[in-house]
Amino acid sequence: MDIKTADLGDTISHLELGNQCKAIWGGVSWPGKRPGYAVVIGMGQEPHFDSYDTYDTYVMDEFECDRLPTLIRQCGVLDKKWCPDCWIGPLENDAADKLIQETKDRFSEGNFSLTPTLLTEMDSLYPYIVGKLDELTHPERKRLWLKGAQAGSYLSSLDEAEESIAELGLGDYPALEALAFVVIELRDHIRIEEEVARLPQHHSCWNDNLFARGMERRRRR
């Protein structure tokens, strides 16, 4: 099954994912004014040589819920299904941290754990993340394929609303936050990896990085 044409939530074998994806990452943002949201994205292997913005990224799966325990457990389910290289999310949430540990102790779904993003510390968070998502989904230079994900509906409604984006903060649109966190962090990570790889006398740390660990998890499935 091709990641480009697969429907949102379709099951794709880990062998196919390994052949087609440069990376698979997950993103999450906790419930706030709207339901919390978890999303899994895959980055394609083939670069675009006509642009600095080189790789296409596809939304593979999602889950939205206003109950924190249910959202965290479903993150474990998505983790087991997709074996992402890592999960990106907000820096600190004591309730979420406690529930993540309790879920690990009680259930067998995946091995979900969170890597914090510093984007949550940014002033004017929403103008930045909405601007990035608009840029990546622009029809003439699309690099992010939403496949009907709920985050896309929020993005469209926000673009059409009179609500001031500058006044929005963390928790207002968790779906947009989760998607933006993971897409921005993954693209930055790939850019840095490739810049380092071009340095003279570069020694690869491939066997010890996020991608290798993610691929090894998928290989064992």
CATH of the domain at 103: 3.30.420
Percent of the chain residues past pLDDT 90, beyond the cut: 64
Least confident of 8-12, 120-124, 201-205: 201-205
Domain assignment present for 6: no
In a domain, 1, yes or no: no
Measuring CA to CA, how many Å separate 79 from each of 21, 38, 72, 137, 202?
Answer: 16, 10, 11, 25, 32
Query: Which pTM was predicted?
Result: 0.86
Question: What percentage of the chain reaches a pLDDT higher than 70?
Answer: 83
C-alpha to C-alpha distance for 16 and 52, rounded to whole angstroms: 27
| Structural domain includes residue 8 | no
Least confident of 17-26, 90-99, 131-140, 182-191: 90-99
pLDDT at residue 207 in the model: 47
Range of the domain at 145: 14-219
Q: Read off the pLDDT of each residue in 160-172 and give the average, rounded to a whole number.
A: 85
Does pLDDT of 110 surpass 70? no
| Number of domains making up the chain | 1
Q: Are 152 and 55 in contact (CB under 8 A)?
A: no
Summarised one tens digit per residue, pLDDT across range 52-106 is 557 999 999 999 999 999 999 999 999 999 999 999 999 777 788 888 777 766 6
4-16, pLDDT tens digit by residue?
999 999 999 999 9
Residue 55 lies in a domain: yes
Phi then psi for residue 46, to 5 deg, are -85, 120
Beta bridge partners of 89: 116
Q: Is residue 4 part of a domain?
A: no
Number of H helices, E strands in the chain: 7, 6
Confidence of residue 206 (pLDDT cuts 50, 70, 90): very low
Checking if the pLDDT of 218 tops 60, the result is: no
Residue 72: what pLDDT?
A: 92
Lowest mean pLDDT among 19-33, 137-151, 178-192, 204-218: 204-218
For residue 191, is it within any domain?
A: yes
Residue 43 forms part of a structural domain? yes
Query: Is residue 5 situated within a structural domain?
Result: no
Average pLDDT, the chain: 86
> Given the structure tokens 């083939």, which residue do they identify?
46
